[in-house]
Chain A
């Protein structure tokens, strides 16, 4: 293999790692937050990342809960969001096509269900809708 071919492979691998880093992982070393975002080819991964950023800067408590109780975000869901314990209990399903504001709200809602599961509390939609409502009011400036 020539030097030039090796260089091409190296550049290709670096680009591949950068694209994967940008689209499929959320890593925040400072706050020990490591999340995996499953592939979605509708461009939803970037909306999920924007929504996580909103939580990080505007609602640190929700961000902390997300980093503690969620490990994987699956953006391939057609409704609003879903939490299934039959899947990995640290996985939430989120539909990012609603835009960054509602995506942040759905993430908080589904994280709330994950917290209910790990804290061995009964599932309550009321509580999680309340959490989402609080977040929308907190992050939205009219």
Chain B
């Protein structure tokens, strides 16, 4: 069989192009860092801001590699939605907890963040703290679960 170098270069280039497109498309709907094998889906809200979540993850990545590794291992979904704390008596009305910026859902690798539309440093910093806190809670849950 005769090998055509032009064909090989074309196939390789096409594969790389598809891979780059795949990463770009994934990054529209989620956070994907192929070099750290880190994929976190983001369910964003119309009342919220997905960009500040991504910025917060980037800050964690650049500032603290250990925290970033923990985040990638113990969080696979960030939901930008209000976090409920229970139901009210017999009416069944849902109770919101407005005192916290989010919550962690036990038995999963899911964290909730309260929707915030503003795209400023204050919101991003608050989200950095929340994401770190709840990935720690997830690690604690799965750590105790395996024991």
Query: Which of A's residues lie within 8 Å of B, judged by CB?
Result: 50, 53-59, 99-102, 104-105, 125-126, 129-130, 132-133, 136-142
Residue of B nearest to A101 (CB): B105
B108 touches A129 (CB 8 A): no
Chain A residues touching B, majority SS: helix
B146 to chain A, nearest CB (A): 11
Q: How far is the CA of A133 from the CA of B85 in the complex (A)?
A: 8
Partner among B77, B79, B94, B106 whose Cβ is within 8 Å of the Cβ of A141: B106
Q: List 20 A-B contacts (CB under 8 A).
A: A50-B77, A50-B108, A53-B107, A53-B108, A54-B106, A56-B107, A57-B106, A58-B108, A99-B79, A105-B87, A125-B92, A126-B90, A133-B87, A136-B84, A139-B107, A140-B104, A141-B104, A141-B105, A142-B99, A142-B100
Chain B residues with Cβ below 8 Å from A54 are 105-108, 110
- Knowing A101-B105, A141-B104 are in contact, say whether A133-B86 is a contact too (CB < 8 A): yes
A142 touches B97 (CB 8 A): yes
A95 to chain B, nearest CB (A): 13
Query: Which of B's residues lie within 8 Å of A, judged by CB?
Result: 43, 77, 79, 81, 83-87, 89-90, 92, 94, 97, 99-100, 103-108, 110, 112, 134, 137, 141, 145
Residue of B nearest to A80 (CB): B92
Partner among A56, A130, A140 whose Cβ is within 8 Å of the Cβ of B84: A140
Chain B residues with Cβ below 8 Å from A137 are 85-86
B92 touches A140 (CB 8 A): no
B108 to chain A, nearest CB (A): 5
Chain A residues with Cβ below 8 Å from B110 are 50, 54, 100-101
